[in-house]
Amino acid sequence: MAVLKVKFTKTKRDKLAQVLWILNWISVVTGAVLFILGLFLKVEINKRVELMAERDIQYVPNMLIAVGLIACAINFLGGKICYDCVDTTKFLRWKLIMLPYIVCTFFFTFCVLVGALMCYSMRGELEESLTLGLTQAMRFYKDTDIPGRCFLKRTVDLLQIQFQCCGNSGYKDWFQIQWISNRYLDMSQQQVVDRLRSNVEGKYLMDGVPFSCCNINSPRPCIQQQVTNNSAHFHYEHQTEELNLWMKGCRQALLEYYTNIMQSIGLTVLITWLFELSVLTGVRYLQTSLENVLRQGDPDSESDGWLLENSFMETARINLNIIKSLGKNNHIDTAKNGDPNIDIPSTSKAHYGPDNVPPKTIKEAS
């Protein structure tokens, strides 16, 4: 029994082909949109790639770019097919191509769905990449005179100003690393020397943050040195007073920024998947109804269209049997190719009977 069988007249078939022609061209546009979104995401990730660890997070934008290009090609071909299918006689040139086209498009729509799900599942890997990358960037913040690292101070400062954040998880992350280069420390001061000696690793640690952590909206002058020392500042209590520093960590700020982008892109891709699936359904109805017209021999007659000619279970069973038969044939061919004498009976252990007398052995003359 056919699944979701619908009866089509000649007029309905022509209108279906015309509507599908328009929808396929709209799908070409949506494919271009996916391509542009993939490029946009790739550019946004590359803007701050110095702040990310070497993790494979480029697979999502690459997937979107590939899906967008394939969507343009597939739907362009689908538009041409549907345009010719308005004329039943022109359908003959596409008759053998339509079923493989539908199968390929079905798997393509599955890839679109996978792309949408990947947009929502990227958050975990992105968070891990940002955690490691920001920690490394903060560690090299002071290395302004070392090639390959001299740009990181400017990158981190611009990040903290633009995203109004401080540190990796918060401003106290700066207390745990030396972010001032030794060449800017006055070694003639005993306080500096004692601080360096008090640290096991010989680092100059202090309760201070870079200037880019300062909250520009605070009415009080920025307190970026001796942040935890209440006596160093007038009318100041760092445990109760809201500090004039950015309180949000840069990892959280960047994660929220990229998550919003990924959710918007994921929703767009999901809508595109639903649209592509509806177009594919229409193409399947058009193909089966036109094939039934050819069987009837009357191009103006009514015909049935369906999604599956048999039930889901029957279709699965038929396809499984086809796969099994192909596997058996491949196994037999492999066996024959592996032993060219497989069909030749062996004579090493022959069984002789009345009709199979071995030749007499001739004794050698003594």
Residue 42 pLDDT: 93
Residue 257 pLDDT: 95
**8 & 115 share domain:** yes
**180 & 225 share domain:** yes
Element (H, E) at 16: helix 10-47
- Crossing angle of helices 152-162/123-139, nearest 10°? 130
Given a cut of 90, whether residue 5 has pLDDT beyond it is no
- Split at pLDDT 50, 70, 90, the class of 318 is low
Evaluate whether residue 347 is within a structural domain.
no
Mean pLDDT score of the chain, rounded to an integer?
83
Answering whether pTM is above 0.95, one says no
The stretch 84-104 carries a mean pLDDT of: 83
Q: What is the end-to-end Cα distance of the chain in Å, rounded?
A: 86
Last residue of a domain, one of 211, 231, 251: 251
Given a cut of 90, whether residue 345 has pLDDT beyond it is no
**59 & 165 share domain:** no
**80 & 171 share domain:** no
The stretch 269-274 carries a mean pLDDT of: 94
Is 250 in contact with 79 (CB distance < 8 Å)?
no
The stretch 34-42 carries a mean pLDDT of: 94
**246 & 261 share domain:** no
Evaluate whether residue 18 is within a structural domain.
yes
Query: How many domains does the chain fold into?
Result: 2
Q: Residues with Cβ < 8 Å from 153, sequence gap 6 or more? A: 141, 142, 144
Evaluate whether residue 358 is within a structural domain.
no
Which has more confidence, 307 or 316?
307
Question: What domain range includes position 9?
Answer: 3-137+255-306
- Split at pLDDT 50, 70, 90, the class of 361 is very low
Phi and psi angles of residue 273, each rounded to the nearest 5 degrees, phi first: -60, -45
Q: How far is CA 86 from CA 60, 281, 301, 302, in A?
A: 39, 17, 14, 15
- Split at pLDDT 50, 70, 90, the class of 319 is low
pLDDT in tens, 56-81: 788 899 999 999 999 999 999 999 88
Render the burial of 106-138: b for 16+ CB within 10 Å, e for the rest: eebbeebbebbebbeebeeebbebbbbbbbebb
